[in-house]
Amino acid sequence: MTDNRKRIDLDALQELVDAIVEEALAYPDHGKATQKIEALKDADVDRLGMAIFTRDGDTVAGGDADAPFSIQSISKVFSLELALEALGDKLWKRVGREPSGDPYNSIMDLERHEGYPRNPFINPGALVVVDALCDQVGGEGETRAVIDFVARLLGEDDFGINDTVARSDEEGGHLNRAMASMSKHFGNFHNDIDIVMKAYVRQCAIELSCRQLARAGRFLMLEGHDAAAQRDPQAARRARRILSLMMTCGQYDGSGDFAYRVGLPAKSGVGGGILAIVPNTASIAVWSPGLDRNGNSLLGTLALELLTDKVDWSVFGEIPTR
């Protein structure tokens, strides 16, 4: 399994995934569910799922891999892809590509940079990306576009939006509205804030299982994703750029620690999910609702750390065995 070009040994990987789920669940600290979204506050932190979708189209899954969960900020990867596809480099006139060094929902930096968010994965940046999509297709069109894109990647539409979670996020979204207002004040927000907020909370409230999310992540794998990457170099180029942002900005204020421990580009959400990509090799989804102090899934990160160490998957190279 160490040579990325070799066929992945699925039986060995299955055994490993089962062992990792068990080992991670034995860890004494399971973290704390997000307290920021009322409807997710009581999520069971003793649950853990993992699914690996391989370049060859196989899936290896363990634990709660079939339980649907709220993808939250992982949806920012899908909306970013759609915005880049629609706008190309023009998008970077409205949002940057630098890690923030502040929590994902911090407003301070936005004032300093006159409504220009640091990157598309912190909330002010994601809201501007959704606003840019709303310029093209309107609020309901934005939600539909994200849903259609995910359905296309999955090859099925057996998933939905949790209305209770969306409403809860919208009702408690004072800070998000304030960030949108700040960007609007500086001319970097075009649409009605409530319309954009609604589209944003709805894409965040999409529910997928680990098995589905790993499959949906295949557009970022480059090799192994026929429609987007192999036949369309532009899509592959976009994927590579999105991966670079996931590496530097994908885990909120814990992106450096995550890169050190896991070594893969990834995007987390406060619902406890993480999508991690091994370029040209695999798309991995983990979920456990207990978060660490940076808002990343505690057991999910641990499970990815154990996996990548054992199979020697890292964008920073392979460890020689002899």
- Which is closer to ligand GLU, CB of 165 or CB of 235? 165
DSSP 75: H
CA distance 265 to 287: 16
DSSP 244: H
Compute how many residues bind ligand GLU; rule: CB under 6 A. Answer: 12
Give residues 129-168 in contact with ligand GLU (rule: CB under 6 A). none
Which two three-digit tokens encode residue 313? Answer: 């998957």
The residue among 300, 230, 228 whose CA lies nearest residue 267 is 300
Instruction: Tell me how far, at minimum, the Cβ of 251 lies from ligand GLU, in Å.
Output: 10
Given 53, 78, 104, 258, the residue binding ligand GLU (CB under 6 A)? 104
Given 63, 217, 269, 279, the residue binding ligand GLU (CB under 6 A)? 269
Give residues 198-237 in contact with ligand GLU (rule: CB under 6 A). 201, 204
Contact predicate 157/141, CB 8 Å:
no
Contact predicate 59/215, CB 8 Å:
yes
Instruction: Tell me how far, at minimum, the Cβ of 75 lies from ligand GLU, in Å.
Output: 8
Which two three-digit tokens encode residue 180? Answer: 């949108």
- Which is closer to ligand GLU, CB of 30 or CB of 202? 202
- Which is closer to ligand GLU, CB of 270 or CB of 304? 270
Given 64, 142, 169, 253, the residue binding ligand GLU (CB under 6 A)? 169
Angle (nearest 5°) at CA 120 between 137 and 43:
95
Q: Torsions phi, psi of 277, nearest 5?
A: -120, 130
- Which is closer to ligand GLU, CB of 16 or CB of 95? 95
Which two three-digit tokens encode residue 151? Answer: 């359905």
Given 72, 100, 119, 301, the residue binding ligand GLU (CB under 6 A)? 72
- Which is closer to ligand GLU, CB of 36 or CB of 198? 36
Given 20, 82, 196, 270, the residue binding ligand GLU (CB under 6 A)? 270
Residues 257, 129, 231, 147: what is their CA dihedral angle, to the nearest 10 degrees? Answer: 100
Q: Does residue 120 belong to the site contacting ligand GLU (CB under 6 A)?
A: no
Give residues 272-311 in contact with ligand GLU (rule: CB under 6 A). none
DSSP assignment of 250-279, as one string?
TTGGGHHHHHHHT-S-EEE-TTSEEEEEET
Residue that has been written with the tokens 């490993």 in this structure:
16
Given 36, 118, 211, 225, the residue binding ligand GLU (CB under 6 A)? 36
Contact predicate 115/182, CB 8 Å:
yes
Which two three-digit tokens encode residue 105? Answer: 């929902």
Given 73, 106, 143, 183, the residue binding ligand GLU (CB under 6 A)? 73
- Which is closer to ligand GLU, CB of 72 or CB of 308? 72
Given 54, 123, 168, 288, the residue binding ligand GLU (CB under 6 A)? 123
* Binding residues for ligand GLU (CB under 6 A): 36, 72-73, 104-105, 123, 169, 176, 201, 204, 269-270
